[in-house]
Amino acid sequence: MRKIYLLFLVLVGITSSCTKDFEDYNTDKKNPTDVKGEFLFSSAQKAFADQISSTSVNLNVFKLFAQQWTETTYVDEANYDIVNRKIPDNNFGTYYRSVLNLLDQSGAKITDAEIPALETEAWKKNKLAIIELMRVFTYHELVNTFGDIPYSEANDIENISPTYEDAKTIYADLLTRIDGALASMDDTAGSFGKSDLIYGGDVAAWKKFAYSLKLKIAVNQSDGVDVAAVYNDVKSKVFDSAADNMLFAYFGSQPNTNPMHVSLVISGRSDFIPANTLVDLMNSMDDPRMDFFFKDKVDTSSVDGVEKLAWVGGLYGHSNAYPNYSHINNKIQEATFPGILMTFSEVQFYLAEAAERTGDAGTAATYYDAGVKASCEFWGVASADADTYIAAHAYAGYNSIAEQSYIAAYTRGDVAYTTYRRLDWPVFNIAPEANTTDGLVPRRFTYPINEQTLNKANYEAASAAIGGDAMETRLFWDTKDPVIPTP
């Protein structure tokens, strides 16, 4: 990881209200007009990393939807109630207002500004290309959450009622935009320097990320894109070691701590525990990462009378007495635990899936092994133990990829949730009071309540286009049926 230490971060004034219309997603009236574009970019990066990392039930419930964690006392979100706290509104607003709006302002200021001394036109192009890659990454998250979304008309302060555009068409355009950004990048020149809080302005690192993001988008799309062509184009250009991991470095003091630290430690609450979905799966595989994911083994002698300590996850979606179950590892609760945005391990699983799709199972197995080992080593498992684990769980097709990608995405609920929706494996538990008509895991977020009232015509058109604004409505790439657990 390239550790970028945050020397100075301009936190622009951003309203957190989710009761305003779409103009509030695009307009920051408190933002000082003289803030440099580079500082706005820093703020956008932090807002993005915070949203991905957060486990606040008001902002990000994907660790729950992915059944990595479950709740203890208040279990509404683990049962998929996303309306009570206006979670779609908050998610939607964060990405449009706090990320995309700042990226657009950053790009406009950098475009209009004179090139600083010691920099060149190539530096400016690199900055604008990196901003574009962050835009693509953000839109990718939005599409995977909602489906059709405001896109070409978004962030236009003259248009407070943007139309929604087809998710599949947006996906195709995102690939085109990545190619455009790559074409303008010169890795012999600089870019943001310390204002880039992820890669420190390293253009070569951003290019690797661009190729990796292109692969991620292509693999996630089940049709409409030649996955083999993308795979063959990018496989030698993507992340090639853990040194390429896209991590956001947090500090030990607020407001620059990992948001999980706020929810798990600063809050003084005990709201979350590991879910039995993940814990039982890892127990069945004798997974060495459990020592790094969890803490506090539980005495299970009441099960068969034999005294034994074991990892025990809370029953997903049920009320769970916090002391009776294993807990989240201390390392994950630390203020400085990094914001994990993309990893070498994750990319290896995308390569494995792409290779499998092209009929090259042998190469897929090689990527699979590399992905598992990289994940184990990222969390602290000794190399020899990782090798033993891999030998015991040899590659066996898509289910192997889904299983290991799901485990490797621990704490990254959005990645694990999307993997489950795409490959419908591993088997998830049924929430006891699921707020879905079929009682199963939701396939998307419903649209924000604000949009339903303040952008009504476009909301209704989008809802009709996707087949209904319901959590059960599938995104265009979500084509498989999940395996339903036997009662």
Query: What would the DSSP string read from start to end of 119-148?
Result: --HHHHHHHHHHHHHHHHHHHHHHHHHHSS
Q: Tokens for 284?
A: 């069945």
Check residue 337 and give left, alpha or beta (phi > 0: left; psi -120 to 50: alpha): beta
pLDDT tens, position by position, 439-483: 999 999 999 999 999 999 999 999 999 999 999 999 999 988 888
Q: Are 48 and 63 in contact (CB under 8 A)?
A: no
pLDDT tens, position by position, 238-283: 999 999 999 999 999 989 999 999 999 999 999 999 999 999 999 9
What pLDDT score does 222 carry? 67
pTM of the model: 0.92
Q: Tokens for 408?
A: 């490797």
Q: Tokens for 390?
A: 């891999």
- Looking up tokens 């999940």 gives 482
Q: What is the per-residue burial (b if ≥16 Cβ within 10 Å, else e) of 106-140?
A: bbebbeeeeeeeebeebbbbbbbbbbbbbbbbbbb
What pLDDT score does 283 carry? 98
List domains and CATH numbers for the chain.
9-53+86-245+443-474 (1.25.40.390), 259-264+275-333 (no CATH)
CA distance 395 to 369: 8
The dihedral formed by the CA atoms of 37, 101, 139 and 475, expressed in degrees to the nearest 10: 170
Phi, psi of 418, deg, nearest 5: -70, -40
Q: Other C-beta atoms within 10 Å of 404: how many?
A: 26
- Looking up tokens 């706290």 gives 85
What are the start-end ranges of the E strands in 52-136?
Answer: 69-71
Amino acid letter, 115: I
Phi, psi of 119, deg, nearest 5: -105, 170
CA distances from 407 to 67, 279, 375, 425 (A): 11, 10, 9, 11
Ranges of the chain with pLDDT below 70: 1-33, 222-224, 486-487
What pLDDT score does 94 carry? 97
- Looking up tokens 């002391």 gives 323
What pLDDT score does 6 carry? 40
